[in-house]
Amino acid sequence: MIQIKPYLPQPTGLPETLQNVLVEDLIFTGIYTLIRLRNNATQAVYYHTLPTGHAAQFPVTFSADGKEKYYPEAAEVWMATPLINSVLRKLTIYPPIEKTVLQSYSEVVLLNCLDSCYGHVLYKIFNAQRHLDDNFGIGLILIIPRSHKWLVPSGVAEIWSVDVPLDQLSSWVSSLDDFVKNELSRFQQVYLSLAIMELDLATVSIERFTGIKPPLLSHWQEIPKKVTFICREDRFWLSNILDQLLYLLARKLRWDQRFKLYFARKQNWKFAQVAQWLKQQDASITFTAVGLGVSGSLGDLIDDRRLEKITSDETEYEWCRLYASSHIVIGVHGSNMLLPSAFTAGFVNLLPDFKEPHKGEDVFPPSGTAKATLERYFPTSISPTEVAKQALDMLKIITERYAD
């Protein structure tokens, strides 16, 4: 934890050329918390990220005039540039913030869960378990997107929910800075959570966040076999190398919407082929599909429960209950696989080549001795028939080996 009251934190990880500085203020931009610094020699103003969330691994420092910028090259596109632009170009938004006080404390820790990526928000929220278990006597305050409020675990002191779509959180949430600074006056001591992003998901109790308990392995042989497809329309199961290149080009040129239906139909056909092959081998298997985006048809065998957008918390609960009744989930790597894999017995994770370095970050590992047999990763070049064969093998393991 980083103490931010009664004393402002001292900077760490500064560039070597910027050491003789004075800390002037904290700035809560939204995803990141900055400290404003002044060079004692030149009086130039700089901004520097506190080491929370991804900023712990990828510190960003930049001057107020934009002439000096320091950050790891790997963070340039997805983190550093959006952050710097939001501050220097004043790309601000002013969403409403709702405060819910559940318990009163004089000493608190702020866990900032804001992020433009759904999966990153989940990882930050999961840090709450550690704080609730380890920091007795210190109240936990969650700063959270309104869309994720349903995941807040019991025991937190306060919830500060920001009503804003995640894709707008690359901007500077100007209303947050004023709100937080005003609220800090109520407390004697305040800390900022590190919001660790390298969590071991095997240690996270998903029941504490969703209220739904993952079934034991012995449970699965008692219920009808079900396979659920996790769909998305911003990354696809594309086996053909030409389609993969077209997809990357479309993303680079921001032509995603022009080709979405083409890619979605290709993916839908693959899911339908998996279902058809499995049904021929075992007529008792049923199939569902969930996810955001309703482009194209998934065929007659798959119960299509996809939505254009989530309009209520009950939808998320319903999907989690569905995962908890699914023996296997199949989907393309990404944030959309986190919650499904937390409840199902096993998963098939399809990795595009450019996501290979992030293998395993988007799934909860199966428990105990099941781990080696019930988590399977394949490149998106794999055929529907091979995926179906792997799924059938997993179903046999789930319903026979772990029956007792």
Residue 57 corresponds to which amino acid?
Q
Closest by Cα among 203, 233, 213 to 336: 233
DSSP class of residue 80 equals I
* 311: its two tokens: 């309009």
pLDDT tens digits for range 324-377:
999 999 999 988 899 999 999 899 999 988 888 888 888 888 766 566 788 899
Task: Give the residue from 43, 116, 54, 48 showing the smallest Cα distance to 84.
Answer: 48
**Distance (Å, rounded) from C-alpha 26 to C-alpha 35?**
5
| Tens digit of each residue's pLDDT (9 = 90 or more) over 218-236 | 788 888 999 999 998 888 8
- Is the sign of the CA dihedral 346, 352, 356, 361 positive or negative? negative
Per-residue pLDDT at 404 exceeds 80: no
Tell me, rounded to whole angstroms, the distance of Cα 192 from its chain centroid. Answer: 20
Q: What are phi and psi of 70, to 5 degrees?
A: -135, 125
Contact (CB, 8 A) for 350 and 187: no
What confidence tens digit (pLDDT) does each residue in 74-133 have? 999 899 999 999 999 888 889 999 999 999 999 999 999 999 999 999 999 999 999 999
Q: Does pTM surpass 0.75?
A: yes
Most confident of 207-211, 314-318, 397-401: 207-211
Residues in the chain: 404
CATH topology of domain 207-401: Rossmann fold (3.40.50)
Domain boundaries, the chain: 1-199, 207-401
Looking at the DSSP bridge assignments, the partners of residue 69 are 62
Question: pLDDT tens digits for 167-177?
Answer: 899 899 988 99
